[in-house]
Amino acid sequence: MPQVTQILQAIDSGDPKAAGELLPLVYDELRKLAEHRMAGEACDHTLEPTALVHEAYIRLIGRQDPGWDNRGHFFAAAAQAMRRILIECARKKRRTRHGGGRGREEFPDQMPAALNDQVDLLALDEALVKLEHEDAAKAKLVHLRFFAGLSVEEAAAILQISRATADRWWSYARAFLYCEMHGGEE
């Protein structure tokens, strides 16, 4: 059993030392994930990748019963935590006292697999919530691809689906999110 999975199980069983052992093993990967995700943020964003990693890690380790099965499950949870943090920051900026009167930015014709294009996170979050209600599995694929920066192959392995199924789900999810985000616009 890989070392990260063993430590995750130790955390799950309440070992107080395990959380301290986990961070050095996953920090570099979490930092790369955060840098990748932050590359798509507006240049005036005040949250740094290091702060995003630390906040996500605190949220993950502070959970009462994380119930992680393996390394992939941990990184999926980390991507979800990063998503929530970024959404909270975007909501805060959207408030009037934080310049909330600005208009929406246009979403590219297709949802990018690479995370270097700017996307309106609040609109994406609203559309993703709708997708979660319609098809939770496809929403998980979006989390893994968009927020964790995983490839189709990596996401398919975590979701235990074939590459072809992951490609179909990704195409559907991109189209669904685009339609939800641009439904009434011409």
Domain boundary among 30, 63, 98: 98
pLDDT reported for residue 129: 92
CATH of the domain at 153: 1.10.10.10
- For the stretch 115-160, pLDDT in tens is 335 677 788 888 999 999 999 999 999 988 888 888 899 899 999 9
How many domains does one find in the chain? Answer: 2
Domain boundary among 66, 98, 130: 98
Most trustworthy range by pLDDT among 8-22, 38-52, 99-113, 132-146: 132-146
pLDDT reported for residue 98: 47
Host domain of residue 94? 3-98
Domain boundary among 42, 65, 98: 98
- For the stretch 69-106, pLDDT in tens is 667 777 777 777 888 888 888 777 776 554 445 555 44
Tokens (6 digits) for 26 = 């996953």
- Whole-model pTM above 0.85? no
In a domain, residue 172? The reply is: yes
Q: Is the same domain home to 138 and 66?
A: no
In a domain, residue 93? The reply is: yes
Q: Is the same domain home to 134 and 61?
A: no
